[in-house]
Structure formats: structure tokens, C-alpha cells
Amino acid sequence: MKIKLIDSVVRSFKVAKIFRENTDKINAIDFAPNGEHLISCSEDDQIVIYDCEKGTQSRTVNSKKYGVDLIHFTHANNTAIHSSTKVDDTIRYLSLHDNKYLRYFPGHTKKVISLCISPVEDSFLSGSLDKTLRLWDLRSPNCQGLMHLSGRPIAAYDPEGLIFAAGVNSESIKLYDLRSFDKGPFITFKLNQEKECDWTGLKFSRDGKTILISTNGSVIRLVDAFHGTPLQTFTGYPNNKGLAIEASFSPDSQFIFSGSTDGRVHIWNADTGNKISVLNGDHPGPVQCIQFNPKYMMLASACTNMAFWLPTSEEGP
């Protein structure tokens, strides 16, 4: 039976499993598109892969030499890309089953702060504090496209993988057509510049209609993906440490989930902006990573520990 996500089901989520594999904070998580696995990376230089169906940790890979951040599964089985936290700012393409690097992607001269993989092909985007956005093909170490921007860039693909959005300087969103990105953005949305914080993440909703902007403050913004109109502002969760706290959509685009520095998970209705619930998962530290499984009724949140959440209510539609 498929459970439909409604308010009562969302409120019923409880932690089903906690993993304490890491000795430092988890800095990024990513579900495989089929929902069967979750990958995480941590400031302790460990990459941990979880089996979501069994609720188990399936393996650990170390990246002691280069460090690891912004990890993402690629489309090929058992492979991932990640940014580096040591040595240099090269992006690395890793074979997970034998822990070997398949390719390096050099080019950025400062910390990479945004990394996203195309939903439809073997290409990816990276944004860096060097104020450039780079487009890459996994099959080539050479950058396929370079955009010089006026400030720190964050990026996201739309669900069809036809366009991408660049959030620049915490004040504008530029939309590019992937087939003609060298012509510049086809539209730019100017928003009020954040005064208290920086934009740290962009995500399109799965229906492609809205864009979610996460920050290192205590505000999340939702804008219309076609017109740039501000739709909602989600607040009321603590972030008193200036941390980049992830916000995510549910797969049906109806709910917004966020971590917080109080170790709890905050949930809002995307249409009304109303807060639905605050879930306590006994996270001892700030929850900076949170994502909903794209296929299964399951939520993952992470501080130094990883928590898997499942609904305890099964009310139908």
C-alpha cells in the first residue's frame, strides 16, 4: 500500500534507526535516484554508504588525503563525485567498490560550495568562492563551460535537466538553457539581498514549479521557478551558529523539511507556509543535512549521527 503524505503522516515520523559511525559532523548526504542507497560524507574524511531497504550501513570509504564534501551519487553504479577539503579545490570522481579515483576535475581556485549532478546525463555543475560556475562532463577532465559571476554562486538543475539555475551573491537567480548557456542567462530574477545571511543551496521542486533557497541563517525562501515571484518565507527554526543548514522538498513538493542548530527537524506546508511540525530525533548536535528519500517513505537527517525516520501513522487519503 502506498501511503500518501498528508499532515498527520508527516507529524507521525519517528526515528527508526540511528547510526553513530562518524566522529565529526556529516557535511553532505545524497540518495541514489532509485532510493535504495544513501551516501554521506563527514569532516572526519569518511564516506559512508547506507542500504535504505535494510536500514543498515553497507560500507565505509576513507578520503584521508583530500578530505570530502558535497558528495553525490553519479548515474553509473557505485560511483560518486565530491569536492575536496584538503590539498586543493579539485572535484574528484570516485569508484566506491574499489575506492579508486576515476578522474579529477581541476579548475576552481577557491573552495567549491555547490555541486550538483544532472538528473538525465553524465554532466555536473560546480560553483566556487572563486566566483565561477563550471559545467563538466564526467568523461572528460576538461571544463565544458565556464561562467564568471559577480558573487558567490550556487547552482541546481531543473528536474528535466534542460535548464539550470544559478543563485548569485544571495540576491539574484539566473536561469540558463544548457544547450546555449554560453549566451548567458535567458532570465534573471532579482530578489531582495539577504542582509543577515548567505544563500547556501538551491533546489528545484520535483514538479519544476518552484525553487527552494536555503541559507546559513534562520530563513528559507521559496520562489516561483518561472517568474521569480517570492512565494513563501519559512522561519522559526534556530540557526545561531551561521551554519549552512539544508532544506529539502518532499518528493510530492508539498512539504519543506529543514534541520536546525537545536537538533530538531522543522516541517512546513509549501503551499500555505504554515509550520506542520517540529520533530525531535535526539540529535546531539546541529542538523545540517536533511533529505527525503525519492522513492520510499523515509527521511534522513544528520548531525554527527545519521538518523533514518519512518512514519508511524498509515492514514490513507
Look at residue 269 and give its three-state secondary structure.
strand
Any domain includes 291? yes
- 194 grid coordinates: 539577504
If one counts every other C-beta atom within 10 angstroms of the C-beta of residue 263, the result is 18
Any domain includes 317? no
Domain with residue 270: its CATH number is 2.130.10.10
CA distance linking residue 167 with residue 160, whole number of Å: 19
Give the chain's length. 317
Does residue 200 register a pLDDT over 80? yes
Bridge partners of 14, per DSSP, are: 310
If one counts every other C-beta atom within 10 angstroms of the C-beta of residue 241, the result is 10
Does residue 281 register a pLDDT over 90? no
Domain hosting residue 265, numbered range: 7-311
Please report, as a single letter, which amino acid is at residue 60. T
- 256 grid coordinates: 519543506
If one counts every other C-beta atom within 10 angstroms of the C-beta of residue 92, the result is 19
* pLDDT tens-digit readout, 230-248: 999 999 999 988 999 999 9
Any domain includes 292? yes
Any domain includes 1? no
Contact 267, 278 (CB under 8 A): yes
Any domain includes 18? yes
Q: What is the pTM of this model?
A: 0.94
Over residues 138-150, mean pLDDT = 93
CA distance linking residue 10 with residue 311, whole number of Å: 7
* pLDDT tens-digit readout, 50-109: 999 999 999 998 887 878 899 999 988 799 999 988 888 899 999 998 889 999 999 999
CA distance linking residue 147 with residue 180, whole number of Å: 12
Any domain includes 288? yes
What percentage of the chain carries pLDDT values higher than 70? 98
Any domain includes 283? yes
Question: What H or E segment, with its residue span, contains residue 128?
Answer: strand 123-128
What mean pLDDT is reported for the chain? 93
Write 235-238 long-range contacts (CB < 8 A, 24+). 236/266, 236/275, 237/262, 237/264, 237/266, 237/278, 238/262
Task: Please tell me the total count of domains within the chain.
Answer: 1
Contact 145, 134 (CB under 8 A): yes
